[in-house]
Amino acid sequence: MIQDPIFEIIRKEYHRQNEGIELIASENFVSKPVMEAMGSCLTNKYAEGLPGKRYYGGCKFVDEAEELAISRAKTLFGAEWVNVQPHSGAQANAAVMLGCLKPGDAILGFDLSHGGHLTHGSPVNFSGILYQPHFYGVERETGIIDFTKIRDIARKTNPKMIICGASSYARDWDYKTLREIADECGALLLADISHPSGLIATKLLNDPLPWCHIITTTTHKTLRGPRGGMIMLGKNFDNPWGDLTPKGAVKKMSAILDTAVFPGTQGGPLMHVIASKAVAFGEALQPEYTEYCKQIIANAQALAAALVSRGYQIISGGTDNHLMLIDLRNKGITGKAAEQALVQADITVNKNMVPFDTESPFTTSGIRIGTPAITTRGLKAPQMETIASLIDKVINHPTEEQVLAEVKSAVNSLMADYPLNY
């Protein structure tokens, strides 16, 4: 039998991942059990609805899988209610907005070009098309958010929802102040913790659950699970619009969000992915995972320091979490050119807008670097110094093929000591 050529493509991608230095902040390497659950027969099963309340027969075992995923997620984050069905982070945010907003309602999110996410109100995304988006950003001088300024913007724009959380912001969030601001203008506060969720679950960063009405996350970044999303409530509460159940009781927010996921924005849940989420949450509840998360931050801080010592400008001057955003303008290279040169040397980063960028989103002045994936591979502080020097060589000689080949060879031999082992 001739094997489908897709498997040769997968083999090549495996080698690319195994041999290179993976610095994309939103990526990670899942464990074999997480991978195994994803590639299981649960992919065959339709299970619209929730455990015990499905629209299909034969759901006994997928119910058990989803219940386990939910109970582990609740324990991991200390949440009272969780929905593990969103297919992705964007889907989780879409469901929350569908459940809580009417078309045309004002929303207030972190500016995409300062580190926010498309789903927080970008004009090219449903969130900016269906709702009326307003934005807050970082200070030009510090690269840090001034929370008192968010209060001023909220007073002027009167949002129905304030969204905090980011894709490329290296500092922690003041959820308590944001909740005060949300309460002042009668808005719901949504924390999208897609990026740092693992660092939050392990209490290494501020916890949004006591302060934010609703929390969304992806499951595949620092959380090291399958690609997917999830919605949580620290505490369940009555919906603030007085929506009633058919029996006349005030609907709980959990019921509104469950309905917003299915049938609101999705059809059948991906049961193989939900089983895989359960495996990842089980792993995240182990003490080794906390050690892993501490090492992510230690590595990010070591890498930031090593880059600063080589003259790199890190937005906000450093990092509290797993990533850093580098403004390359003083190095005379765009984000796009840096990304392309680094890829030739088997170092993978992504070009990224920096606050107040003078380049287009396709070119950018910066790159974003994160340590979750290399930390999973076992790299520690001494290797961060090596990585900084390899990056520096490429950035200083982006078109010299000889240099790129030398760096690539150093990258491949470094990573040979930390194999992926799938």
Instruction: Give how far the C-alpha of residue 269 lies from the chain's centroid of Cα atoms, to the nearest Å.
Output: 20
Joined tokens for residue 200: 């939050």
Residue 130: exposed, middle, or buried by beta-carbon count in 10 A (0-12, 13-18, 19+)? middle
What is the dihedral sign for C-alpha 121, 123, 128, 132?
A: positive
Identify whether 221 is a catalytic site residue.
yes
Contact positions with ligand PLP (CB under 6 A) in 8-27? 26
Shortest Å, Cβ 403 to ligand PLP: 31
Shortest Å, Cβ 381 to ligand PLP: 26
Q: Considering the rule CB under 6 A, would residue 265 count as an interface residue with ligand PLP?
A: no
Residue in 119, 202, 334, 383 binding ligand PLP, rule: CB under 6 A: 119
Q: Considering the rule CB under 6 A, would residue 114 count as an interface residue with ligand PLP?
A: no
Other C-beta atoms closer than 10 Å to the C-beta of 61 total 14
Joined tokens for residue 151: 């209060």
CB nearer to ligand PLP: pick between 167 and 365: 167
What is the dihedral sign for C-alpha 336, 362, 118, 143?
A: positive
Q: Considering the rule CB under 6 A, would residue 348 count as an interface residue with ligand PLP?
A: no
Identify whether 363 is a catalytic site residue.
no
CA angle (178, 115, 146) in 5-degree steps: 40
Report the relative pairing of strands 81-83 and 347-348 from DSSP bridges: unpaired
Residue in 18, 28, 83, 88 binding ligand PLP, rule: CB under 6 A: 88
Shortest Å, Cβ 118 to ligand PLP: 8
Q: By beta-carbon distance, which residue lies closest to ligand PLP?
A: 89
Shortest Å, Cβ 95 to ligand PLP: 12
Contact positions with ligand PLP (CB under 6 A) in 198-237? 218, 229
Identify whether 376 is a catalytic site residue.
no
Identify whether 53 is a catalytic site residue.
no
Q: Considering the rule CB under 6 A, would residue 167 count as an interface residue with ligand PLP?
A: yes
Report the relative pairing of strands 53-54 and 106-110 from DSSP bridges: unpaired
Q: Which stretch binds ligand PLP (CB under 6 A): 41-49, 152-160, 188-196, 404-412?
A: 188-196
Identify whether 218 is a catalytic site residue.
yes
Catalytic residue among 217, 218, 222, 348: 218
Residue in 18, 83, 85, 194 binding ligand PLP, rule: CB under 6 A: 194
Q: Which stretch binds ligand PLP (CB under 6 A): 14-22, 164-172, 333-341, 406-414?
A: 164-172
Contact 69, 280 (CB under 8 A): no
CB nearer to ligand PLP: pick between 192 and 357: 192
Catalytic residue among 74, 151, 227, 329: 227
Size of the site for ligand PLP (CB under 6 A): 14
Contact 187, 160 (CB under 8 A): yes
CB nearer to ligand PLP: pick between 273 and 391: 273
Shortest Å, Cβ 363 to ligand PLP: 20
Report the relative pairing of strands 229-233 and 214-218 from DSSP bridges: antiparallel
Catalytic residue among 19, 48, 174, 385: 48
Identify whether 192 is a catalytic site residue.
yes
CB nearer to ligand PLP: pick between 18 and 216: 216
Q: Which are the contacts of 325, defined by CB distance < 8 A and separation ≥ 6?
A: 115, 143, 168, 169, 170, 314, 315, 316, 352, 354, 366, 367, 368
Contact positions with ligand PLP (CB under 6 A) in 298-337? none
Binding site for ligand PLP (CB under 6 A): 26, 88-90, 117, 119, 165-167, 192, 194-195, 218, 229
Q: Catalytic amino acids? A: 46, 48, 192, 218, 221, 227
